Structure 1
């Protein structure tokens, strides 16, 4: 979510400007230099991801006038002033007006670098909060969120399939949002005004499987006449969730439904024909389950007209911020609380966590943040029985920084090593230790 920010350095003194620029560049900052304020303003916008550093005393537009112009563009852009000894009182007054910080000549480069790092972090949080708010506002009605290429392709495929009548098999790990994909298929299709009946196959006791799903006819022994849950989906959509949880006997009883679109209520003398679209979901690869003898091949091949695979969050980390923003706004509205601002602790957790529980885990985390629970990250870790020590937390943070840097420089190892100020051997040792594949961050060659 955070990224390498830019420093706009404005000073009419060429020697000082070049010296400060060189010192900051050696410390990993991306610096652009200007000898006057109007020229620097052309590089400033509301989306500017950096910090403005300006000398106070310059001909024409001085540092304070430049600050007012920057504030008019975006009051949340941090600005640092470089002052002479006699300007300290003026700089302190400027702090009260919103200037982020100031340094007095002569200043140690470490002092300026430290102030800029803090200012970049502040700017990054401001922009991240804006992106989260935009994601929450723009996601209304979007059931499959994410801007990564794999999610864009998935949405396009869903849009193509929604208007068709073909059966669809959705595969993905627990919590990835298979139910959301089913809802998107339903709401985008011609049956959108009819019911979608969801059946959690793994939660059905075998003893009541037939009567619960198929219903009972009049005269059935010891049973009251009833309409089964499958029949309630007539002319609509039947969503068979966790179909991999069915026993072989239960799979056999579903085969006729999938193949012929008919059911035999318990005690019925003839079948009932239904008009259904069937969507099934599985947390395991059903083809592998067939090979292992855990799932009927004939049922699998009848369900597998089209298969959609929903990737886990760890394979699309870039989608976590927008998903979190949407879920946080949704949870805050449901809990009747103001949507909290993103903090550095929450952001670092979003970027550094592997999300083994996928979207479901992210939803629950957003709810805890919306509730303002203290130490939300630690509460989550203890709840999973993984209370991390200092070494583990530092390793997780280090991996997060490396991933952010590789994203920013598009997998260019040379640039990444320079930004991280890390020798080649150490850099590649850390990639191996954290299981980071650098090729994933490089642009794909044009086909």
Structure 2
């Protein structure tokens, strides 16, 4: 999980402060020493760590904090603010052209994930009611053009290519004319990378930049490379004056050094982060929300946004109403599961919950939990429509249970377990009936749980 190590250590350090009541200067210094070590272990640039700790220490030792009735909470607030500032304060949006064409150029080293990110970005743009065009300008890497075409086909977005025998500069120029002729208003250029930075690569990118005059030059870097990612960002920014950074593989980066260092080193904001392999697994980068997640405060705004994007509100409301009116059956249960699965893996949803700490998940096999959900789905799908609508038919019939277990590849014990859980859920919903009015108008009335 993203920032797992750092989040765990920072949360533990700040928890110790909260248990002390009044704080002394010695308490603050000891805490800041632990914060410093946590940041260095997370592969954050040493100079940035030094500046960060000094700012937090100076503010924490101020009169306002030391004389406060809740000094530990004030320190947490300061750490949260400084982490947010370190990562760029607020989100930075794409600089769309007010009229005409918006050109986005993706640059970076080979293997950073530019081609996949080009598709993810195109999908994001498409959701904003734009008409994107993907452009294959990597003529050097074997199968790079084919990869972009496969990506484009998977999300139903056109790909402009002239093959691998044409100069990338000519392809970039021709793509602009093609976009204008075909009604595309956002051009996303997937450029070539190298395994290292060289003059030839930079010269080619500078020529494309001069020719197409992009609205955005987004540097794509692999967050798991830590300080190397920051060094790459510095070099590309020096030559191309990039407008923003896109971090890939953030879901696999347990340290977070790149995300915490890039803005301070280059002055360029992180605009997007890749959080998985699927095309929709991309997020706008919100520094304040990320700081909140790191400190275990959750990210309720992102959770709500994800729910609104993923869940069919009308269906969810119908399910909620049926739950509270005691009409809930296995068809509703199956639909509720489908709606929840749209929000993504359990671990990623849990990261957004306030009070979440990765240590709490130790010993819990989330992959197994997701497999169990698959089993539940298989059991329900093995029931007849009549059985799904009236589960009591199954409860009293061993032959039905055997048939369902055989059809779902499970055992009678697992079928019985599901029936028992379902009955318990119905009893709970009956008890909640009196709370219906209070929930119907709020967020929980719209979500299928």
What TM-score results when the alignment is normalised by the length of structure 2?
Answer: 0.29
Q: Choose between structure 1 and 2 for higher RCO, CA contacts under 8 A separated by at least 6 residues.
A: 2
> Could you say which structure has the higher strand fraction?
1
> Could you say which structure has the higher helix fraction?
2
What TM-score results when the alignment is normalised by the length of structure 1?
Answer: 0.30
